[in-house]
Amino acid sequence: MKDMQAHLEKLRVEAEECELISKLATNPAKKELFAKLAAHHRALADDVERAIGAANP
């Protein structure tokens, strides 16, 4: 379970980093790419969080 929690935290941090890069990017293509990556990492983190909740009813 600790592995899943660590993975969840890593995904959340990566989402935040991608969002920050997106906000700082001046190139519109890179801005959009990093915004999409942030959303993807958040979705993955939500999935992991649900899996953790299902494993610990």
**Is residue 1 over pLDDT 80?**
no
pTM: 0.88
Which of 42, 43, 41, 21 lies closest to 32, judged by CA? 21
Which tens digit of pLDDT belongs to each residue from 8-41?
999 999 999 999 999 999 999 999 999 999 999 9
Q: Is the pLDDT of residue 57 over 90?
A: no
What sign does the dihedral 15-42-50-47 (CA atoms) show? negative
Summarize the confidence of residues 42-49 as an average pLDDT: 96
First to last CA, the chain: 13
